[in-house]
């Protein structure tokens, strides 16, 4: 057993002697290099190029820098004789510019961090003066893992199973070592706590059901409230857990790839090692923020308060998304499996509306089968409310969620339907799935147009409009365009007559549609004929 020198810190954590199983990639370059000009000068050159690149970015420069940085990291990873302080200097400098690069560059820096973590962990087994350095190293590695998770979710890709397991092995060691520092380094504890809480909530937030803008807004709102959270490590068999509150986020470290559970109470004694995050304060803060913005929007006098529209939208969308995730809202209703059933998806909203009309009114042209743009999917399950679809493809899935699409199940008795893409996920490389919610209720398709001064111009500025609700002089319409704006006037054609309307309120917008409340409008010099 190692003879650890005395130190004012607490006792040595058991996790320090564990194997982190980081599987860091070490290039074999044939020889080990000492810290000489052969290593320092290339780093100085990269630093200079990074400073220039930040001021004058270009695709060619980015590619050259990426190659140079990756090559340099390879030399760093293969050379165990390089002093730790210089290794950390290089990694910290590269981390400052990660936003300029892609996931591959982030993964390369993370790999170098894994090697440095293993080196510091080994040193800390003999000298606990390395504990603060180890906590910093672990936090840096976890921040890179968090960035990679965010990149994956933004692309609607499943989180890496190995990377998630490694994150929690790093987190377990970091929390154990941090607990021995006796609050001597509060800034290190705050940084560690922040990255663990962000990672766990990000996994819980279901970014697969958010549009790109909703993802950004939710992530921004989460970071605003992350300081109200505190993560703690608790071990199997512990019966006395000093936590108060009504709701807790609990991660079972025996099953790290399962999302954290939201529990009303922590079971004691614990049956597994876990990370526990009390969330009462977070829920309270979010609820108050959302209600405050709602009150401002509902009272014109309060709208004089200094809130930008962007800030209010971020709080509403992001806050509601986080609260929904913490409430554990799930999809209701069972679906029937439909083995070997194919379906066509029409992504062009105008064509989808026309295909839907052909299904309910055979006088309307435009069967989806005749269009060139539909993509073919396999139906996994299906019911009256929606369907789950799957296909093999390497195309990016960005831009799918929130779209209004046409759905045609290729069976003898199925008519074309309209639906919204509620979630998208790449289960594994090339295997993609979609969740569709069907549009329900009575609907009527009419032709809409904006007058352009001539019949030719009118036709160029026309689109199908799906009427989903009618109430006296108001109606609700779905337009196959997300560039519709408030107070826009247009005409609906019914029985060869034009009826003029004005957009009174935009109810919602998706990537390819707008749902609006419309009221009758009087247009000077025009009569409804």
| pLDDT digits 0-9 by tens, 193-251 | 999 999 999 999 989 999 999 999 999 999 999 998 999 999 998 878 888 888 999 99
pLDDT at 36 over 60: yes
Region 146-160: mean pLDDT is 93
Of the ranges 332-346, 416-430, 469-483, which is most confident? 416-430
**CATH 3.40.50.300 applies to domain 336-361+375-438:** no
CA distance 97 to 50: 8
CA distance 269 to 254: 16
Q: Is the dihedral of CA 408, 414, 415, 421 positive or negative?
A: negative
pLDDT at 110 over 90: no
Using alpha carbons, list the distances in angstroms from residue 61 to 43, 52, 108.
Answer: 16, 10, 18
pLDDT at 303 over 80: no
CA angle 131-135-136, nearest 5°? 120
Per-residue model confidence (pLDDT) at position 72: 87
Q: Count CB-CB contacts under 10 A for residue 145.
A: 26
Per-residue model confidence (pLDDT) at position 456: 52
Confidence of residue 494 (pLDDT cuts 50, 70, 90): confident
Average the pLDDT over each of 90-104, 191-205, 278-292 and give the range with the smallest value: 90-104
Cα diameter, the chain: 96
Q: Is the dihedral of CA 294, 296, 297, 299 positive or negative?
A: positive
Which distant-in-sequence residues (6+ apart) come within 8 Å of 83 by Cβ? 35
pLDDT at 421 over 70: yes
pLDDT at 3 over 50: no
CA angle 33-37-39, nearest 5°? 50
The whole-model pTM stands at 0.83
> What backbone torsions phi and psi does residue 465 show, to the nearest 5 degrees?
-125, 125
Which distant-in-sequence residues (6+ apart) come within 8 Å of 44 by Cβ? none
Confidence of residue 29 (pLDDT cuts 50, 70, 90): very low
Domain ranges of the chain: 11-204, 208-330, 336-361+375-438, 444-520
Cα 386 to chain center, whole Å? 23
Consecutive H or E run containing 70:
helix 59-78
- Cβ–Cβ < 8 Å for 319, 327: no
């Amino acid at each position: 057993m190692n003879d650890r020198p005395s130190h004012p810190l607490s006792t040595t954590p058991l996790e320090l002697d564990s194997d982190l199983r980081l599987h860091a990639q070490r290039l074999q370059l044939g020889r080990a290099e000492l810290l000489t000009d052969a290593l320092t000068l290339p780093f100085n050159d990269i630093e200079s190029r990074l400073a220039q690149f930040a001021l004058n970015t270009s695709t060619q420069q980015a590619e050259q820098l990426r190659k140079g940085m990756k090559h340099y990291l390879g030399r760093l990873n293969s050379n165990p004789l390089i002093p730790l302080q210089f290794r950390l200097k290089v990694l910290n400098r590269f981390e400052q510019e990660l936003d300029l690069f892609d996931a591959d560059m982030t993964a390369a820096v993370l790999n170098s961090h894994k090697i440095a973590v293993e080196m510091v962990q080994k040193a800390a087994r003999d000298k606990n003066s390395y504990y603060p350095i180890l906590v910093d190293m672990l936090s840096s590695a976890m921040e890179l893992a968090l960035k990679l998770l965010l990149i994956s979710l933004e692309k609607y890709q499943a989180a890496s199973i190995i990377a998630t397991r490694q994150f929690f092995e790093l987190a377990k060691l970091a929390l154990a070592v941090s607990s021995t520092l006796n609050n001597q380094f509060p800034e290190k504890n705050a940084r560690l706590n922040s990255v663990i809480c962000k990672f766990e909530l990000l996994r819980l937030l279901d970014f697969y059901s958010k549009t790109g803008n909703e993802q950004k807004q939710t992530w921004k709102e989460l970071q605003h409230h992350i300081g109200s959270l505190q993560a703690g490590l608790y071990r199997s068999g512990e019966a006395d857990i000093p936590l108060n509150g009504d709701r807790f986020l609990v991660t079972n470290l025996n099953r790290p790839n399962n999302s954290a559970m939201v529990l009303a109470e922590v079971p004691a004694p614990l049956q597994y090692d876990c990370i526990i995050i009390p969330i009462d304060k977070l829920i309270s803060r979010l609820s108050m923020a959302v209600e405050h913005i709602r009150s401002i929007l509902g009272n014109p006098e309060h709208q004089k308060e200094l809130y930008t529209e962007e800030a209010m939208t971020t709080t509403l969308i992001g806050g509601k998304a986080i609260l929904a995730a913490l409430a554990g809202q799930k999809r209701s209703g069972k679906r029937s499996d439909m083995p070997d059933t194919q379906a066509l998806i029409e992504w062009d909203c105008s064509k989808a509306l026309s295909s839907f009309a052909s299904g309910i009114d055979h006088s309307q042209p435009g069967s989806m089968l005749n269009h060139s743009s539909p993509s073919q999917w396999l139906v996994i399950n299906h019911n009256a409310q929606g369907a789950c679809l799957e296909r093999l493809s390497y195309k990016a899935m960005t831009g799918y969620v929130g779209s209004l699409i046409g759905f045609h199940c290729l069976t003898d008795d199925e008519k074309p339907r309209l639906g919204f893409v509620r979630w998208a996920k790449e289960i594994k490389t090339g295997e993609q799935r979609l969740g569709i919610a069907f549009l329900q209720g009575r609907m009527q398709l009419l032709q809409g147009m904006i007058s352009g001064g001539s019949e030719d111009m009118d036709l160029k500025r026309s689109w199908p409009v799906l009427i989903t609700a009618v109430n006296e002089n108001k109606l609700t319409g779905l337009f196959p365009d997300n560039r519709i704006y408030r107070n826009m006037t247009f005409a609906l054609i019914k029985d060869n007559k034009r009826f003029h309307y004005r957009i009174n309120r935009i109810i919602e917008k998706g990537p390819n549609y707008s749902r609006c409340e419309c009221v009758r409008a009087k247009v000077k010099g025009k009569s409804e004929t």
